[in-house]
Amino acid sequence: MATIAFFAPVGAGHVNPTLGVAAELVRRGHRVTYATTAAFAERVAETGAEVVPVTSTWEGRDDMKVPQMHGRELVRAMGLLLEETKAMLAQLEGAERPDLVVHDGPMCWWGRILAGRWGVPAVETWPNLVSNEHWSMSTKYTTVNPLSPRFLLMAVRLGRFLREQGFGGLEAFMRGDAAALRLVMLPRAFQYAGETFTDRYAFVGPALSERSYQGGWKPSGDLPVALVSLGTAYNDRPGFYRTVLRAAADRPWQVVLAVGGMDQAVLGPVPPNVEVHRQAPQLAVLRHARAFVTHAGMGGTMESLHFGVPMVAVPQMAEQRANADRIAELGLGTVLPPEEVTAEQLWGAVESVAADEDIRGRLARMRQEMTAAGGAPAAADAVEEILPGR
């Protein structure tokens, strides 16, 4: 039995994709520890992992707007991540040395640093599209001026911090060059230029967990079901939600609308065929859905593909635009520009994708790709191959 330590940043899109992997490793007899905050402790405990409690600088702050991931906002995001990394390292300094670290690749700098300090192998989980010399987010979606004073100052700050931690090259650290393996939580067929990625990238597909902590859900009748959600980060969009309510009114559909922590009083009257949630039990609803209006976060995208649900993508930030473009390119749904959505456009798109048999066929083929990728068992196999002494 090995001890495997998991680390991920606060955020459902980074924690949820790892839960199935943690649960599978526990099932195989390994001891799994998982450092997370109180907000995610219940879902982590459900996997059988031991919760290592930490607090985040990102939670409970009324002054922090979630940054976009390009331009000036990308520099701000890097500053917030550096602050979070320092706070997490301070809390985890005395943590037990594991045999292997599994950590989020895009954002969990402290997992990368701790693995280096302990001298143990690191496996990175990538819940989103990955980049190489053939395709990169930075070519189209997350552009930044590398000569801007703000960016250069941030690079100096980050480089100095990494040298203090015993890491030399900034670029090598940011790429995660020391990782033994990257677990990409999507099928290779969904990745842009997927065939060009080497064996250091294991495209295992989504590793979905039961998520009983969310509770169950059943349709109230025989009407087709549409789920509408903009995720947990970029969801403060009262105007969009009011558009959804206007679009759904008097339609022969049951609509499940997730609005996050927004004050629901600003929505105005809610039609009787719409139920409003802070957070919907997404997997339970998708089991019954005919269409999913989504921000095109990768977690929700993979869940929709798992259940064969066509998507109407309304992306809210750079990474989601890349996902939405891929959804359209592969014919798995359609995309609407978030700033221009009208009630008529929205519901026309919902009914169009729900009725499109060609989309259904492509969804079925993508689901076959996901099954072949292996999910949580394939991810656990890959982790066990990296364990020292194997």
Residue 114, Cα to own-chain centre: how many angstroms? 22
User: Could you read off the pLDDT of 121-136 as tens digits, one per residue?
Assistant: 999 999 999 999 999 9
Question: Is the predicted pLDDT of residue 352 greater than 60, yes or no?
Answer: yes
pLDDT at 70: 52
Tokens representing residue 313 in the block: 């993508």
- If one compares 16 and 58, the residue with the highest pLDDT of the two is 16
Nearest to 217 by CA among 169, 279, 125, 283: 283
Domains, in order of start, for the chain: 3-205+374-386 (3.40.50.2000), 214-371 (3.40.50.2000)
> Which phi-psi region, left, alpha or beta, contains residue 319 (left: φ > 0; alpha: ψ -120 to 50)?
alpha
Backbone angles phi, psi at 36, to 5 degrees: -155, 170
- If one compares 304 and 147, the residue with the highest pLDDT of the two is 304
Question: Is the predicted pLDDT of residue 183 greater than 70, yes or no?
Answer: yes
User: Could you read off the pLDDT of 106-124 as tens digits, one per residue?
Assistant: 999 999 999 999 999 999 9
Share of the chain above pLDDT 70, in %: 94
Share of the chain above pLDDT 90, in %: 71
List all residues 6 or more positions away from 265 whose beta carbon is below 8 Å from its beta carbon.
none
- If one compares 213 and 276, the residue with the highest pLDDT of the two is 276
Whole-prediction pTM: 0.91
pLDDT at 66: 61
Q: Comparing 56-60, 188-192, 229-233, which segment has the lowest mean pLDDT?
A: 229-233
Question: Is the predicted pLDDT of residue 321 greater than 70, yes or no?
Answer: yes
List all residues 6 or more positions away from 329 whose beta carbon is below 8 Å from its beta carbon.
none
Q: Which residue has the tokens 């095109």?
A: 296
**Mean per-residue pLDDT over the chain, rounded:** 91
| pLDDT grade for 28, boundaries at 50, 70 and 90 | very high
